[in-house]
Structure 1
Amino acid sequence: MPSILNAATTSAGKLRDFSAAAGHSGIRIEPLPGLRDIPAPEEDQPTFEGNARLKAAYYSRFAPDLLVLADDSGLEVDALSGHPGVRSARYAADAGFSPAGVATLDERNNLYLLEQMKNIAAEVRTARYRCVLAVARGGEVLAIGEGAVEGSILTAPRGDGGFGYDPLFWLPELHKTMAEIDPAAKNGFSHRGRAFSALIAAMAEQNEKM
């Protein structure tokens, strides 16, 4: 098994989640060197796996000796036919939704989601977070891991932790949102933690290539 995976993301939240997920595996997560100088690829695939594979293969060509970790993840809301899905990070921007006084991308996305769901009853606000992780080297994808967590969407945000849609994503078994979970415990419930566990298993099967 490798000792280091170089993550192709500039998101501090994702890096934190990946590091937490890798905590007991003996694998260290480090940012991909020079990532900010590499032009981002167009994420034009219709599925999370397609985009994760695309990014892992793309970024690994810029560092052919390293194992590069890439992800695609997002929120699927059943009442919205699975949207925002692969467009989760761009949900508000795609719709041209940019209310005055709303500073961050996460805030805009959350407000737009609430607007889209304002007439949807509580019992049909079911949703899931989904994540696919891919590891590649030299342009070749070597392993894939997928994870999901089921929940529902609240009518107002709760909690100051996490990022993305976490303040709206309610976990019924915990009676908390993802943003209210202690960071140390989040790994056991998060889609990224589950995807990383699946990735570790897949990497073990591909150990000779690693």
Structure 2
Amino acid sequence: MTHTILQHPRWVLASNNQGKLAEFRNLFTDANLDIEVIPQKQLDISDAIEDGLSFVENAIIKARHASRISGLPAIADDSGLCVPILNNAPGIYSARYAGEHGNAQNNNAKLIQTLQPYREAHSDTPIIGHFVCVLALVQHADDPLPIIAQGLWQGEILAAPKGDNGFGYDPLFWLPELQKSAAELSSQHKNSISHRGQAMHTLLKQLLNA
């Protein structure tokens, strides 16, 4: 048995990120789902105002916004980096941690600077971080039962960037089991183990086993 939302042949993605769009399309193709995923920009949908206090709230806000304007089912992604010793900052503000939205270099620099006192006080203890991804899927704008899928990816936060691949905080996200940073992984490898990859596969399981 599969979820009734799969009967809708077109969904809108509440994002203009081409990487996310490609990941969704590949996932659905691999699962033999005949669904066309359309980025919101293609439908002249503006970005939603993300005024929630959690990844879940913001993902739902974005999905409802895109669905209300398009009249289609909508899927949204809200993701970021949580560092427990910083009370899970930068969290939902990950993309604008240093003030300017999407400036990865400044965001990384601020995180390094903020963590420096902890490193000096506990030089032998790794600083743990979690990449978080929450996906929200709604059948319509007022859907009372959104489908939610979450992925968590644990690593350690480096004192300096390492690697040239990926984006965002990837150069600071160290994977001790691989002895590489997220920015040293191929896109295919990263997508298979990352927070977003985990959330997408969890979402797919919910859709196919509803």
The TM tier, using the shorter chain, reads 0.7 to 0.9
Q: Structure 1 residues 20 and 164, CA, compared in 2 at 3 Å: closer, same or farther?
A: farther
For residue 165 of structure 2, what is the aligned residue in structure 1? 161
Cα distance in 2 between the residues matched to 1:128 and 1:153: 9
Look up the SS of the partner of 1:79 in the other structure: helix
Aligned-residue offset at 1:68: 1.4
Q: Structure 1 residues 82 and 8, CA, compared in 2 at 3 Å: closer, same or farther?
A: same
Aligned-residue offset at 1:29: 6.4
Structure 2 residues without counterparts, runs of 5 or longer: none
For residue 126 of structure 1, what is the aligned residue in structure 2? 128
1:34-58 per-position Cα deviation (integer Å, ceiling 9, x unaligned)? 4573332221111111111111111
Q: Structure 1 residues 186 and 92, CA, compared in 2 at 3 Å: closer, same or farther?
A: same
Matches within 5 A, 1:73-84: 73-84=79-90
Look up the SS of the partner of 1:120 in the other structure: helix
Matches within 5 A, 1:91-170: 91-93=97-99, 105-121=103-119, 123-139=125-141, 140=143, 142-170=146-174
Aligned-residue offset at 1:13: 3.5
Amino acid at match of 1:55: K
Q: Structure 1 residues 48 and 116, CA, compared in 2 at 3 Å: closer, same or farther?
A: same
Q: Is the 8 A contact 2:11 2:74 kept in 1?
A: yes
TM-score normalized by structure 1?
A: 0.83
Cα distance in 2 between the residues matched to 1:197 and 1:62: 27
Q: Is the 8 A contact 2:80 2:131 kept in 1?
A: yes
Structure 1 residues without counterparts, runs of 5 or longer: 99-103
1:138-180 per-position Cα deviation (integer Å, ceiling 9, x unaligned)? 2025411111010011011111111111111111111111111
Q: Is the 8 A contact 2:134 2:149 kept in 1?
A: yes
| Larger helix share, 1 or 2 | 2
Amino acid at match of 1:90: R
Q: After alignment, is 149-158 or 197-206 more displaced? A: 197-206
Q: Is the 8 A contact 1:9 1:31 kept in 2?
A: no
1:15-74 per-position Cα deviation (integer Å, ceiling 9, x unaligned)? 34444554522346633354573332221111111111111111111121x331101110
Q: How many residues align?
A: 197
For residue 101 of structure 1, what is the aligned residue in structure 2? none
Q: Is the 8 A contact 1:22 1:196 kept in 2?
A: no
Q: Structure 1 residues 16 and 177, CA, compared in 2 at 3 Å: closer, same or farther?
A: farther
For residue 183 of structure 2, what is the aligned residue in structure 1? 179
Amino acid at match of 2:117: N
TM-score normalized by structure 2?
A: 0.83
Q: Does 1:193 align with 2:197?
A: yes
Amino acid at match of 1:127: G
